[in-house]
């Protein structure tokens, strides 16, 4: 499994915000987000510019679990890049982590374009479907990103896992404007997820950007009965690696 970094921090987004968590960040992604505000993905070093030489590269699952033993936190977050690209490895990793610590709570942060049995070992699937506002227009990745950003079959399978109480699911969207709400509404009608499971967060990779957009996003959440999530790690440390 290609690993970008391993670190201990707080969860900055979603329903488990603020909880001490061990982060496992995989390298590489099947999408290339560039939001309408101009920002690239906030972990472009795992997508636009993945550098296997300077990251951890190919890491054995035992190495990852060994690093986790240093912290032994209840919460574990597997993120990326796009970690679901490594379904078989994620399954083995989760089995190893749960064998070591049966009380651990594993969150998988994913763009929702992959599905599989490995998801049944996850406690919280945090899906961030990429809306039209994420398309990197006028780049070599535009067509690829547009073609792959929404996988309805995978999203419906993940939604069924939640409905069947196999795992919890939250639907987390970067909000850039009113067109996003129309697109989320269409996805809801197709997939069937509920407002109570939707989280909107401001677009931005700096504290200044997030501060300037927070109130607008909160107002939209109130209007649509969605949840608001901030980006605590960026507010605390800025857009840095390993936090």
In degrees rounded to 5, what are phi and psi of residue 40?
A: -75, 170
Q: Give pLDDT, residue 102.
A: 97
Q: How far is CA 224 from CA 107, 182, 203, 211, in A?
A: 26, 11, 18, 21
Q: Which run of H or E residues covers position 66?
A: helix 61-68
Strand order of the β-sheet with 75-79 is: 57-58, 2-10, 20-26, 75-79, 105-110, 124-127, 168-175, 198-202, 227-228
Determine how many CB atoms are found less than 10 A away from the CB of residue 202. Answer: 23
Q: Give pLDDT, residue 55.
A: 61
Q: Give pLDDT, residue 36.
A: 81
**How buried is 35 (Cβ within 10 angstroms: 0-12 exposed, 13-18 middle, 19+ buried)?**
buried
Domains of the chain with CATH codes: 2-237 (3.20.20.70)
List, in order, residues 6 or more apart from 140 with CB less than 8 Å away: none
Q: Give pLDDT, residue 57.
A: 66
Q: Give pLDDT, residue 63.
A: 93
Q: Give pLDDT, residue 53.
A: 64
Identify the segments of the chain with pLDDT beneath 50.
none
Q: Give pLDDT, residue 54.
A: 56
């Amino acid at each position: 499994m290609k690993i970008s970094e391993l670190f201990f921090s707080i969860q900055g987004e979603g329903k488990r915000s603020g909880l001490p968590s061990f982060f496992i960040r995989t390298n590489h992604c099947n999408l290339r987000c560039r939001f309408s505000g101009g920002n690239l993905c906030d972990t472009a070093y795992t997508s636009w510019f993945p550098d296997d030489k300077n990251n951890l590269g190919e890491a054995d699952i035992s190495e990852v679990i060994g690093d986790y033993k240093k912290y032994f936190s209840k919460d574990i977050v597997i993120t990326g890049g796009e970690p679901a690209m490594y379904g078989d490895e994620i399954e083995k990793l989760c089995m190893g982590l749960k064998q070591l610590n049966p009380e651990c709570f594993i969150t998988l942060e994913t763009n929702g374009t992959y599905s599989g049995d490995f998801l049944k070992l996850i406690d919280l699937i945090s899906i961030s479907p990429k809306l039209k506002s994420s398309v990197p227009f006028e780049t070599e990745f535009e067509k690829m990103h547009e073609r792959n950003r929404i996988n309805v079959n995978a999203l419906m399978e993940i939604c069924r896992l939640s409905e069947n109480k196999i795992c919890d699911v939250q639907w987390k969207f970067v909000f850039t404007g009113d067109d996003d709400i129309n697109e989320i509404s269409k996805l809801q009608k197709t997939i069937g997820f509920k407002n109570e499971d939707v989280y909107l967060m401001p677009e931005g990779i700096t504290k200044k950007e997030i501060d300037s957009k927070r109130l607008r996003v909160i107002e939209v959440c109130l209007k649509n009965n969605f949840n608001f999530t901030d980006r605590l790690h960026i507010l605390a440390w800025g857009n840095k690696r390993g936090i």
